[in-house]
Structure 1
Amino acid sequence: MASNPFDISGRLALVTGSSRGLGNALARGLAEQGAKVIIHGRSRDTVDAAARDIANATGAEVSGVTFDVTDAEEVRSQLTALIEQHGVPDILVNNAGLQRRAPFTEFDPEDWDAVLATNLSSAFYVSRAITPAMAERGSGKVVNIGSVQSKLARQTIAPYGASKGGVVMLTQGMAADLARYNIQVNCISPGYFRTDMNTALWQDDDFNAWIEKRTPAARWGEVEELVGTLLYLCSNASSFVSGQNILVDGGMTSVV
């Protein structure tokens, strides 16, 4: 009987920004499929609580790590310690993200810096700290979390769109450099999902109506609907797939 190409049981996965929200759902999805998961966040209490919750719900081996993804030196030191303690991750999911909203003419430069640092620079810092060890081993999976906003602009979030567009190009650049080491690097770009970051939007009746009209699926996505794509990109089923941006958006980017 042929082995299951989607099997990730026993693989070690680090998911940044996974103590809550979309990242938490992704980490839980990997744990449900038998991966050993490392939860990440900035608050030790929140990370520990999330790790316990996922471990109790799935029976998986779950641990936690805390560091500021925007601090390159802290990322380096903490991930060096993580590798010494747990080994080299088989799977890295760069999910940590931040949203700030304001009209472009009023957007604060400090908010621009915060959005770019959290959404784009962090993916570079964390990947730069992990992928050399993956390359030395000769295998690895990196999944960056982009956004439908990497392809479609919307008012008040120009910096967010710029950061996610950068994530897509970073993905392609990483794939070009790392494929020779049997490291596949891909991007998942969600459409509109019911997450903590989007609370103000899905609680707005007018915006809900726009989403239902604009999206062929006529609804918001549920975070669990991202897990299947993640599993594919983290498994041997995608062994010759690299540098791709998969939009999980209910068809939004396919229509005008």
Structure 2
Amino acid sequence: KIFSPVNFASAYNPGHVKSLLLRRENLRYIGTNPVAGQRSMSQSSLAGKVAIVTASTEGIGLAAAQALGKRGAHVVVSSRRQANVDKAVALLQSQSIQVTGTTCNVGKAEDREKLVQTTLDQCGGIDILVSNAAVNPFFGNIMDSTEEVWDKILSVNVKSAFLITKLVVPHMTKRGGGNVVFVSSVAGYQPMQALGPYSVSKTALLGLTRVLAPELAHSNIRVNCVAPGVIKTRFSSALWGNEDIMDEFKSQLSIKRVGEPEEVGGVIAFLCSEEASYITGETITVTGGIGCRL
């Protein structure tokens, strides 16, 4: 006799068989389980949510802001230069996205605090943090890197990511929970030649995700990470703009092309949605199929 939930239930309570069969027919109709069905109908947007996205006036950060905004979130964008902020705000407004913009150098404590306070003043709370800011002031043999290079990279790429998370967590808790997404890199799994210190900082974000997820779960805050491959942004132009480097990369790719920022932004928005409500402590690689492991 083939085991099934109906057979199991009928062995204990035959009167439930009819209702279970009807329920199964309903599931077949919506094509999913009851919880997922409810989400697809009533919780598919981020309407009413407030999202901070750091380094979000271009590239992956801007794509993340667009993806979150198009799903109904009020996005708070930032970068170090006011002109870039103004340009991004104008673009997002033209796409009917609710947006607030401010300058922020995440490496400075006063700027991180200003970003959070501006968000609270303008939007009333915080539900989502996408930590995207990163620097790479060094390109070459790792043995030639200096203490100053390491201080700069680890301060911005790792320490600031944690410290801004620490700032927003109390406000997410007041709202009943939230989402944190760190933007790492395929370099965190497979160190890139001449990008040693940067690669180490991106590996650290994988660890930070795993450490924070269980600690913040009791506050209903999920912590996840994305690790993009070679994406067509200004930041990575030294890679995708070099034919020899790209030939090497493409030999490792299943999808034989450079990725687009929107392809990462969509994954970030998914991780912040109810569709990902049972995902925390994970890193999704968006690499075109490069094998990634630690």
| Bigger Rg over Cα | 2
Residue in structure 2 matched with residue 196 of structure 1 by the alignment: 234
Kept in 1: contact 2:127–2:179 (CA 8 A) = yes
Kept in 2: contact 1:76–1:125 (CA 8 A) = no
1:173-212 equivalent positions in 2, closer than 5 A: 173-212=211-250
Residue in structure 2 matched with residue 13 of structure 1 by the alignment: 51
Residue in structure 2 matched with residue 239 of structure 1 by the alignment: 277
Indicate whether 1:139 and 2:177 are aligned. Answer: yes
The whole-number CA distance in structure 2 between the counterparts of 1:218 and 1:78 is 39
Deviations 1:12-68 (A, max 9, x none): 111000012221111112222222111111112211211111111x20111112222
The whole-number CA distance in structure 2 between the counterparts of 1:77 and 1:39 is 13
Residue in structure 1 matched with residue 23 of structure 2 by the alignment: none
Q: CA deviation at 1:144?
A: 0.6
The whole-number CA distance in structure 2 between the counterparts of 1:4 and 1:241 is 19
Moved runs in structure 1, 4+ residues, more than 6 A? none
- The one-letter code of the counterpart of 2:265 is V
1:46-85 equivalent positions in 2, closer than 5 A: 46-56=84-94, 58-85=95-122
Greater CA deviation, 100-109 or 157-166? 100-109
Kept in 2: contact 1:88–1:130 (CA 8 A) = no
The whole-number CA distance in structure 2 between the counterparts of 1:69 and 1:249 is 26
- The one-letter code of the counterpart of 2:176 is G
DSSP 3-state at the match of 2:291? helix
Deviations 1:135-157 (A, max 9, x none): 23221011110111111112211
Structure 1 unpaired stretches of 5+: none
Indicate whether 1:129 and 2:167 are aligned. Answer: yes
Residue in structure 2 matched with residue 115 of structure 1 by the alignment: 153
* TM-score computed with the length of structure 2 as normaliser: 0.82
Kept in 1: contact 2:85–2:101 (CA 8 A) = yes
Change (3 A) 1:82 1:34: closer
Indicate whether 1:251 and 2:289 are aligned. Answer: yes
DSSP 3-state at the match of 1:185? strand
Change (3 A) 1:81 1:59: closer
- The one-letter code of the counterpart of 1:118 is V
Q: CA deviation at 1:159?
A: 0.9
- The one-letter code of the counterpart of 1:97 is A
The whole-number CA distance in structure 2 between the counterparts of 1:31 and 1:104 is 39
Indicate whether 1:91 and 2:124 are aligned. Answer: no
- The one-letter code of the counterpart of 1:200 is A
Q: What number of residue pairs does the alignment pair up?
A: 254
Kept in 2: contact 1:36–1:62 (CA 8 A) = yes
The whole-number CA distance in structure 2 between the counterparts of 1:133 and 1:141 is 12
* TM-score computed with the length of structure 1 as normaliser: 0.93
The whole-number CA distance in structure 2 between the counterparts of 1:118 and 1:160 is 11
